[in-house]
Amino acid sequence: MPVIVDPESETLARLLEVLPAGGHGVEDPETLQAWLQNRPEEYAVVLGPHVALESALAISDGMRLTRPSTSVILLRDEVDTQVMREAMHAGTRDVVPAADAPAIMSAIDRAYQLYVALRGPGGVIHSGRIVTVFSPKGGVGKTTMAVNLALALTDKGARKVCLVDLDLAFGDVAITLQLFPSHSIEHAIGSEDSIDAPLLESLMTRHPDSLMVLAAPSHPDVRDRVSPTLISRVLRGLRETFDFIVVDTAPAFDEQTLTALDETDECVIVATLDVPTLKNVKVALETLEMLNIARDHRHLLLNRADDAVGLGPEKVEAILGMEVSARVATSMDIAAATNSGKPILSANPAHESSITIRELAETLTGQPEAPVAPAGLSGGSGGMAVDDDDDRSGRRFRMRR
């Protein structure tokens, strides 16, 4: 799907409406480069009217030989012959007036045709990874961690990330992000057989930090009408356009959660330092094992890990038979950030918990995230070895049901 670059967020939002469903917006050329590295199948780069001509020509010239199957389309408020000549010389495929939506669409179509001609109709099939944040206990911090992890995974717009609220009765992802969704997964009920990118896009709400949110229904009774088939089709559809799909779940092994777990590539299990939670997490881990869900791709996140309750991380590891992957301490800053609608990762990127969550994101992507200023704070997590399994795409674990 095409990526559009423009430093002005209003222009970016307007142009994204013109682009085909699944288009992605970034504000600067550096993020574009990071995006392109993650996306070998990108077929069009649209450079908006506020990208300086010099910078646009440099991008185009750089991509001319390195990415010949990706077309650069330059938008200008006014197109004159001089701009045209320079752009063509730099290898830009099209120069189009920024206000001419049909011309932009037609340039994107041509870019796609060229891509197919050069790469073959299959091209490189995109398959995003599903990260499910789960705990059998309520109130342990699943939503807090899911929201912050999703923000970390975007890497400031370099990756396309969707956050799905599958706590279908009492989901609070939207409110946590101060979003007011007009649509939710509820609006796909009955469309199980026709889930595609435009439909999915119409259900989502855009968060300013390069994150798309598929909100939970606004009424709890809708939950029972969201079938497992709908959930698995939605998640598979999202794989096609997103790099990562982070799923927040209800504290239960209900049908919907099991369906999401069945599609999961990476499972983040949230636990806290209290015996009832640990008992339930142990049972949950045994269930995941029995169902062969995300084996070797389970990550134990200990939240409120500093609570002085006589149980340390070592004891937790002994009880659960699993290494603690990340530890987040209790912090008023986390709760205050959530309450202000700006999660800690955005509100305070240098906070110890933000660093821990970014480290967890790095483990999930296998790539270091861009550093955050001010630098110098040391990490706060237990750390994890990066899994060197390079077959990270596609569904590998199926439940026997």
Ligand X SMILES: Nc1ncnc2c1ncn2[C@@H]1O[C@H](COP(=O)(O)OP(=O)(O)OP(=O)(O)O)[C@@H](O)[C@H]1O
Per rule CB under 6 A, is residue 379 in the interface with ligand X?
no
DSSP assignments along 15-32, one per residue: HHHHSPTT-EEESSHHHH
Per rule CB under 5 A, is residue 143 in the interface with Mg ion?
yes
DSSP secondary structure code for residue 395 in this structure: -
Q: How far apart are CA 116 and CA 110, in angstroms?
A: 10
Which one of the spans 27-35, 106-114, 132-140, 380-388 is the region binding ligand X (CB under 6 A)?
132-140
Which residues, numbered 307-346, are part of the site for Mg ion (CB under 5 A)? none
Which one of the spans 123-131, 136-144, 200-208, 376-384 is the region binding Mg ion (CB under 5 A)?
136-144
Per rule CB under 6 A, is residue 328 in the interface with ligand X?
yes
Residues 245, 250, 251, 252: is their CA dihedral positive or negative?
A: negative
Number of CB atoms found within 10 A of residue 219's CB: 10
Do the strands 129-134 and 161-166 form a parallel or antiparallel pair, or are they unpaired?
unpaired
* Residues with Cβ within 8 Å of residue 276, at least 6 apart in sequence: 137
Encoded amino acid at 359, one letter = E
Binding-site member from 251, 343, 380, 382 for ligand X (CB under 6 A): 251
Q: Measured from the CB atom, is 160 or 304 closer to ligand X? A: 304
* Residues with Cβ within 8 Å of residue 372, at least 6 apart in sequence: 349, 350, 354, 358
Report, in Å, the least distance between residue 147 CB and ligand X.
8
Which one of the spans 46-54, 67-75, 255-263, 326-334 is the region binding ligand X (CB under 6 A)?
326-334
Which one of the spans 11-19, 87-95, 134-142, 189-197 is the region binding ligand X (CB under 6 A)?
134-142
Q: Report what 359 binds from Mg ion, ligand X, none; CB cut-off 5-8 Å by kind.
A: none
Task: Report whether 241 contacts 200 (CB < 8 A).
Answer: yes
Whole-angstrom CA distances from 23 to 203, 210, 286, 327 are 15, 12, 40, 35
Per rule CB under 6 A, is residue 298 in the interface with ligand X?
no
Which one of the spans 2-10, 27-35, 133-141, 273-281 is the region binding ligand X (CB under 6 A)?
133-141
In 3D, which of 2, 47, 9 has the Cα closest to residue 24? 2
Per rule CB under 6 A, is residue 327 in the interface with ligand X?
no
Q: Report what 25 binds from ligand X, Mg ion, none; CB cut-off 5-8 Å by kind.
A: none
Per rule CB under 6 A, is residue 354 in the interface with ligand X?
no
DSSP secondary structure code for residue 240 in this structure: H
Q: How far apart are CA 35 and CA 12, in angstroms?
A: 16
Length of the chain: 401
Q: Under rule CB under 6 A, how many of the chain's residues touch ligand X?
A: 18
Task: Report whether 152 contacts 345 (CB < 8 A).
Answer: yes
Q: Report what 13 binds from ligand X, Mg ion, none; CB cut-off 5-8 Å by kind.
A: none
Q: Measured from the CB atom, is 188 or 250 closer to Mg ion? A: 250
Per rule CB under 6 A, is residue 259 in the interface with ligand X?
no
Residues lying near Mg ion in the complex (CB under 5 A) are found at 142-143
Residues lying near ligand X in the complex (CB under 6 A) are found at 135, 138-144, 167, 251, 303-304, 328, 330-331, 334-335, 338
